[in-house]
A and B are shown apart, each in its own frame.
Chain A
Amino acid sequence: MAAVAIHQFAQCITCHAWSPDQSMVAFCPNNHEVHIYKLFGEKWERVHVLQKHDQIVSGIDWSVRSNKIVTVSHDRNSYVWNQEASEWVPTLVILRLNRAALCVQWSPKENKFAVGSGAKTVCICYYEKENNWWVSKLIRKKHNSSVTSVAWHPNNILLATTSTDGKCRVFSTFIKGVDSRESGASSSSNLKFGEQIAQLDLSFTWAFGVRWSPSGNTLAYAGHNSMIYFIEDVGSSPSAQNVALRDLPLRDILFVSEKLVIGVGFDCNPMVFTADETGLWSFVKFLDEKKIAPSSSKYGSQFSEAFGKLYGQSKPAINSDTVESSRPRGGAHENCISCIVPLRKPGDTIVRRFSTSGLDGKVVIWELDNSI
């Protein structure tokens, strides 16, 4: 399996999202706009430009059923865009932040969305029909630093967050009038808004990319120390697994199924992780098969030239022919992959296709075949 399509849209992309029918992609080309491109046959053409933010748009999410786009930006604002005829009409959401918004995600029922910010807070926004506007409720406590990513549990109430203080936390976002108290919900005693269910202190470095498994049983997030953490049974008795990566850290992850996770990050190559029958997670392989240069450098990375110089200093007689000059990596992405989004077909329980976008301005679509 590998990349089925590679599109160079811009010089650099911060985040992207797909329309419900996957015919259009919305992304931010590292400025204050959101560009929407549509595929006409073989060519991508820009159909809309959403211009409302004053600074970089750091998060975009496109809801599947209600076809709404939510964007958040470093300008501390968020807009919900509704499609009316051929135009996208923005509605300002007052988040009440005094720092940048960093990430956003629609809840599974699409009646709420969560925004992580540099103000050490998480905003949970819901729609108030009576006043026809989006209200923001803040979770002010607990975080000691910026909230880098948010993830909704399938039950639409629990929210996991990761922060640059190294911790991953799970909160309840129960809102009276929006969420219904379901009988038999295991966390019914913790349904107060903003209540912290769990705090995971596994990483001593910045944490990114938290995601729940499709059933909500497993939680995974990446640490900036080249580790990925898998936690089972967060609510009752959390058991964690630390998987150390050989190479550079991850920025975002995706649960393809209960036992299969794809991680993307600074290696510019998606990494596959699986859990075996006993539930033990491990790294399987890189997705992108790269061309190996005939004179392969010992370190096999873009740092080979730098390493050659570093080690060459201690041995003055070393031949400079052994130093490999830095070359393009030969994979789909040429720079850090910062965002991974699933491309679900309606009715599919596991994800077969997903897309990645990165700092090289490319959006790459990947397809998994049955060998995984």
Chain B
Amino acid sequence: MATVGFLEDENLEAIITRIEHKSRKIESLLKQSKPVEALKTALEGSLLKTKDERCKSANWIVVHRAIMAIKDVDAMFSSLDPEYYDILMKYLYRGLATGDRPTCDQCLKIHEKLTEKAGLGCILRSLADTINTV
């Protein structure tokens, strides 16, 4: 899936449509038991510069689906490229903020391994950046 450029004047409807398209792709990947691919697809093209809450929520739902489908966290990290670490960390914090028990359990599990892999700098980048938020 091609990475989307950050076009500020892009139609919000177009963004929502694209997220729906992503969602269908992720469902099919999960049926094929490819949770890591699904997570990568979900994280790709996350529009960090959009201020619109609907788009962020829509993308979060998709990412959340992929995160909850991960069963083997260690295997996931062996095939996840480091370029996804920062954005994954931001979504993990969004997950932890929901307060929902299964979500928090899963996010905490992944957070532990991600911190080991990426270091504290990854956490810093997700906390300090108030402009590119998920």
Contacts and interface: CB of A to CB of B under 8 A. Distances in A.
Interface of A: 204-206, 223-227, 244-249, 298-299, 301, 303, 307, 310-311, 313-314
Contacts of B120: 226, 246-248, 301, 303
B112 A311 contact: yes
Contacts of B128: 204-206, 223-226, 249
Contacts of A227: 121, 125
A204 B132 contact: yes
B118 interface: yes
Interface residues of B, number: 20
Contacts of B116: 298-299
A226 B125 contact: yes
A233 B131 CA distance: 27
7 contacts: A225-B128, A244-B86, A245-B119, A246-B119, A299-B116, A303-B120, A313-B108
A204 B115 contact: no
From A223, A226, A313, residue with most partner B Cβ within 10 Å? A226
A314 B101 CA distance: 10
A223 B129 CA distance: 10
Interface of B, helix, strand, loop or mixed by DSSP = helix
From A206, A307, A314, residue with most partner B Cβ within 10 Å? A314
Contacts of B119: 245-247
A249 B124 contact: yes
A245 B121 contact: yes
B130 interface: yes
Nearest to B112: A311
B109 interface: yes
Contacts of A247: 119-121
A314 B121 contact: no
A4 B27 CA distance: 60
B125 A225 contact: yes
B105 interface: yes
B124 A314 contact: no
Which 3 A-B pairs rank lowest in CB-CB distance, beginning with the nearest?
A246-B119, A226-B121, A205-B128
A314 B118 contact: no
B118 A310 contact: no
Contacts of B125: 225-227, 244
Interface string B92-134: 0000000000001100110010011011111011001111100
B124 A225 contact: yes
A301 B129 CA distance: 23
A276 to B, nearest CB: 19
A264 to B, nearest CB: 15
A225 B129 contact: yes
B121 A244 contact: yes
Nearest to B121: A226
A307 B121 contact: no
Contact of A226 (B105, B115, B124, B130): B124
A368 to B, nearest CB: 24
A310 B121 CA distance: 18
Nearest to B132: A204
Contacts of B108: 310-311, 313-314
Nearest to B104: A314
